[in-house]
Structure 1
């Protein structure tokens, strides 16, 4: 078994710690971005449904004659 100097062992440990932190941060950022995309897609879908419903209600009210008109 080869033995490494203390400084090399310390440097490798520091590198692994930094690498692990970087991977964790990237994973969290990826998950956050995915959640944001899902939320934006749902918001767009709900807005489209609301606008379609409002347009349908508007067209229905335009076709029904008012009883108050002579």
Structure 2
């Protein structure tokens, strides 16, 4: 009987190990995706600030009032 218990225990531990490794892989994938999203948002913000600064410089150089704000997409 203890041999059956041992086999069942080994099978259960093996299944648990597989589930844990899948969980860790999923968490790592989510962290990778989150870092990509954060990097993309930071780059978008830098580009937006650069564009607004350029538009302001151009409008001041031409002597006209600054361009109206662009509508934000939701």
The question of a shared fold, defined as TM-score above 0.5 by the shorter chain, is answered with yes
- Structure with greater Cα Rg: 1
Structure 2-normalised TM-score? 0.77
Unaligned runs of 5+ residues in structure 1 are: 64-70
| TM-score relative to the length of structure 1 | 0.82
> Structure 1: which 4+ aligned runs deviate by more than 2 Å?
none
Q: Output aligned runs, 1:1-70, within 5 Å.
A: 5-62=6-63
When the two chains are superposed, the root-mean-square deviation of aligned CA atoms in Å is 1.5
Contiguous gaps of at least 5 residues in structure 2: 65-74
